[in-house]
A = this chain, B = another copy of it.
Amino acid sequence: MREGPDIARIASLVGDPARANMLTALMGGTALTASELALEAGVSLPTASSHLSKLMEGGLLTLASQGRHRYYGLAGPQVAGMIEAITGVAASVGPQRVRPGPRDAAMRVARVCYDHLAGEQAVAMLDRLVDKKVLIRDDNDIRLGQSAASHFAALGIDVESKARRPVCRACLDWSVRRSHLAGTLGAAILDKILLEKWARREKDSRAVVFSPLGKQAFEKVFLA
């Protein structure tokens, strides 16, 4: 009846809770082993293995075998973008099954979203960059302002786009319900934050924890 790509096939892969949890976990940007993903999804190892082979077959994941460990990761930015888009819709239409408990307070403040920073800090950063006209924003569309090149060069970040991805992009933050910065620039900023050791990634979590001094440095540079 219909022509074109088989969108139901892809969507139904994401449409299972266990697989959706795995994909969400992989939005953390680092590849995870089958056991870790089983834990994350709350299913047994055999079940997880079955899901993983389906996701592989569907082309949503990549696999890197290292000895007896098999590391699964998102197949690429396009897949990550799709997950973001679905998350965005779910966040805006969904009757929130959210309970912003103290448990994930750290997640609300700052966390990793595939390869860039998300959470309150990230939202505040984007707001400030737009205020200072370093970035210029039309809702979901973000582009570089006049001063962007020099502003980021001073931080050792090259804004010239060499990669096959947008430099800037808005990514809806599910915890704050406002956008933060994605794209190569967002990824470069997260790199910088971790490289300078302003913050470290919490083990087994997407949370990003700033050190007291790191927080000062970050705020001086991005929120001043």
Contacts and interface: CB of A to CB of B under 8 A. Distances in A.
B7 A83 contact: yes
Contact of A87 (B5, B40, B169): B5
Interface of A: 1-17, 19-21, 23-25, 40-42, 58-60, 75, 78-79, 81-94, 96-100, 104, 107, 138-141, 143, 161, 163-169, 174-175, 183
B94 A9 contact: yes
**Protomer copies:** 2
17 contacts: A1-B40, A1-B41, A2-B24, A2-B40, A4-B98, A8-B15, A8-B19, A8-B21, A10-B89, A11-B12, A11-B15, A58-B93, A59-B94, A82-B86, A139-B161, A140-B166, A141-B161
A91 to B, nearest CB: 4
Contacts of A97: 6
